[in-house]
Amino acid sequence: MVFDYLEGAADDESGLRHNRSAFDKLQFLPRRLSDVSTREQSVPLLGQQIPLPLVIAPTGLNSAFWPKGDLALARAAGKAGIPFALSTASNMSIEEVAKGADGELWFQLYVVHRNLAKSLVNRARSARYSTLILTTDVAVNGFRRRDLRNGFAMPFKASARAAVDGLSHSRWLWSYLMNGMPELKNFATDDASDTASQAAILRRQMDASFS
Ligand SMILES: Cc1cc2nc3c(=O)[nH]c(=O)nc-3n(C[C@H](O)[C@H](O)[C@H](O)COP(=O)(O)O)c2cc1C
């Protein structure tokens, strides 16, 4: 179910196929007989020079892939000298990631109601995130058939199918049991200490009327 979440897309996944075939059409244009004895991959990006033309894009639920996945990605990005973007739907909080990683951090915000947006942006700012990404293509969640079939949601839905899936991936299951159910930590409060309440806050706060 985790693989399907990472690899899958909405409805009949034709958007994913179109994207792949568009990327397949791109090719390098070889330029011969130029001096490539010194090669340089660094590029200017938003006012600074980064060593690779890459940024780690925001992905929600990184702990489903790897325990403390947000931090692992932030540290790897820091080591490579490139920015890491933390998702609104991260499993570690804005502050936890900032505390554990020393590279450049960006924060991704969904279009949510103003007060929540303000509070998340202020938290990111105080925790030294340098750049804000506003994601405007998720007014409502896509109809992801694989996830619905697998019961992949926050929190995971227990079912015979999920149990068989977990048992046939014992390493994943072990790390999952050792690290506990991934939470949407940016929404954790005394009143929302479990994943279901945190996910409900995010769902309620999405502002589909924004234009
Ligand atoms: C598993 C997964 C989770 C994602 N989660 C988020 C997210 O939480 N917020 C967001 O703005 N984009 C999210 N995205 C979109 C990515 O940030 C990125 O824009 C998209 O994957 C296109 O880049 P790519 O062609 O390198 O995959 C997610 C993508 C994937 C595959």
Per-residue pLDDT tens over the stretch 165-192: 989 999 988 988 898 888 999 999 998 9
Atom of ligand 1 nearest to the CA of 60: 8
Q: What is the pTM of this model?
A: 0.94
Tokens at 192, concatenated: 């929302």
- Cα 14 to averaged position of ligand 1 atoms, centre (Å): 17
Q: Does ligand 1 lie within 6 Å of residue 177's CB atom?
A: no
Cα dihedral 83→87→209→125 (10° resolution):
-60
Question: CB neighbours of 166 closer than 8 A, spacing ≥ 6?
Answer: 172, 173, 176
Q: Does ligand 1 lie within 6 Å of residue 59's CB atom?
A: yes
User: Residue ranges of the alpha helices (H) in 88-194?
Assistant: 94-100, 114-126, 145-150, 160-167, 170-179
Q: Does ligand 1 lie within 6 Å of residue 90's CB atom?
A: no
Top-ranked range on mean pLDDT: pick from 84-88, 162-166, 179-183: 84-88
Could you give the CA distance from residue 153 to residue 5 in angstroms, rounded to a whole number?
Answer: 9
Structural domains present in the chain: 50-205 (3.20.20.70)
Per-residue pLDDT tens over the stretch 30-52: 999 999 999 999 999 998 999 99
Q: Which of 7, 19, 59 for mutating ligand 1's site (highest number of atoms within 8 Å of CB)?
A: 59
Distance between the two ends of the chain, CA-based, in angstroms? 34
Could you give the CA distance from residue 45 to residue 187 in angstroms, rounded to a whole number?
Answer: 31
